[in-house]
Amino acid sequence: MASPLRGLASAASRSGPLRIDVLIQANEPLTFLCPRRYSSPLPHRAFSKSNRQHGVRAFHASPTSRSNANFTYGIAASFSAKDRRYNPDKDIFSFNPYDRIFARRKDKKTRPNSGQDAFFVSRIGESSDVAFGVADGVGGWADSGVDAADFSHGICDYMAYAAYTYRPSKTVTPFSARSLMQRGYEDISEDETVPYGGSTACVAIAKADGSLDVANLGDSGFMHLRLNAIHDYSEPQTHAFNAPYQLSVLPQKVLAQMGTFGGVQFRDFPKDANITHHSLRHGDVLVFATDGVWDNLSSQDILRVVSRLMVGARAWEHTPDGIQVGRELHHFIEIDDGSSGGEEIPSLQSFLSVGITREAKAASINTKKDGPFAKEVQKRYPFEYWRGGKVDDICVLVAIVVEEGR
């Protein structure tokens, strides 16, 4: 069956962005009036196959034979390095669980153009479960001549490969978000090409039974949205303002000096991560992002972007009984089956990740509208002059939850 987004995306590319009427009242929930067609800020070409140089496509895995294995996930990521103009035609990846994942990519030219931010998505072994997450390299290492991106991209590569090659056995530790973070940390710590560095990490495992396991360390994080509302979200872990928890590999010289003379060098471990467990429902949306998003967009800002696109696509619908999940949701996340004759259909998860990235990028360079980071600086340091957004790398990963048979 053809994707319902086909005609909508084509219409958008012909006539420009389509309008969705929105009514926002002070101190009231966001309400959408008469959504007519799927509204996208992008032309159809934004998700062409030529942009898939990393072999990443939309995820729609078939459930396993287990009776409770009936959830699938549409996953996409978008990103923008802080010193680059955001290009939604190129800075977008969707995921296909059947693409092969290799060990760490040491050639920097093969990395996504996301600066010190990184992400990964991988099918877990031969199951329909999926692992994904984001990491933010600690930029302070640049003062020591270290490329902070090496650590964040490296640990994501190692976590993706560990998930992809996982095979359950009685002797292997049960697979969890924390154990996956631990495996990635151990592997990057043993990598001689990355002698120093550090990053935050927010790692998740979404299972075919609809459960979600999250390990969050630092100030990257996630939001769980359900039917036009914020259902759950992570709290940042910080040692002090703008000093997040971070996985680190430190030079032996520094460790020796600390042992002799004292001093503080942030070095946290996967055991310090905040662990949460969630039960997912059909139509839920998960947003994982680095602090380039959270420092520039409030939770309500992100909800507004997601709601506009979900309601506009009728993935969430207004009914006499309130907001409900649209009946055609499972078609919105499908990968291209080849029936489009080479013209790929943009997935809903791609539109969501691009929409949030675009909004965060615009807010980061806005010098007049104060974002969450600016407001926090003004509260803590009233004599500091900080206005507008915070320029930073941005990485957004979106997962749409679909229950088969709904």
**Domain of residue 239, residue span:** 47-403
pTM (predicted TM-score): 0.81
Asked whether residue 117 is assigned to any structural domain, the reply reads yes
406 — pLDDT class (breaks 50, 70, 90): confident
Alpha helices in 85-207 (DSSP H): 148-164, 177-189
Asked whether residue 37 is assigned to any structural domain, the reply reads no
pLDDT of the residue at 338? 52
| Number of Cβ within a 10 Å radius of residue 26 | 4
pLDDT of the residue at 23? 32
Asked whether residue 1 is assigned to any structural domain, the reply reads no
What mean pLDDT is reported for the chain?
80
Asked whether residue 36 is assigned to any structural domain, the reply reads no
Q: What is the pLDDT of residues 258-279, one digit of tens each?
A: 444 444 566 899 999 999 999 9
Task: Give CB contacts under 8 A, 24+ apart, made by 363-367.
Answer: 363/296, 363/297, 363/301, 363/389, 364/82, 364/292, 364/295, 364/296, 364/389, 364/390, 364/391, 364/392, 364/394, 365/389, 365/391
The domain that holds 254 is classified in CATH as 3.60.40.10
Asked whether residue 35 is assigned to any structural domain, the reply reads no
How many CA atoms within 13 Å lie on the side-chain side of 385? 2
Contact 44, 347 (CB under 8 A): no
Q: What is the pLDDT of residues 41-81, one digit of tens each?
A: 332 223 333 333 333 333 444 333 334 559 999 999 999 99
3-state DSSP call for residue 199?
Answer: strand
Measured CA to CA, the distance from residue 405 to residue 117 in angstroms comes to 36
The two structure tokens encoding residue 80 = 């923008």
* Count of the separate structural domains present in the chain: 1
Q: What is the pLDDT of residues 353-405, one digit of tens each?
A: 999 999 999 999 999 999 999 999 999 998 888 999 999 999 999 999 999 87
Asked whether residue 60 is assigned to any structural domain, the reply reads yes
Measured CA to CA, the distance from residue 71 to residue 84 in angstroms comes to 37
Asked whether residue 160 is assigned to any structural domain, the reply reads yes
SS3 content of the chain, % helix, strand, coil (to 5): 30, 25, 45
Asked whether residue 7 is assigned to any structural domain, the reply reads no
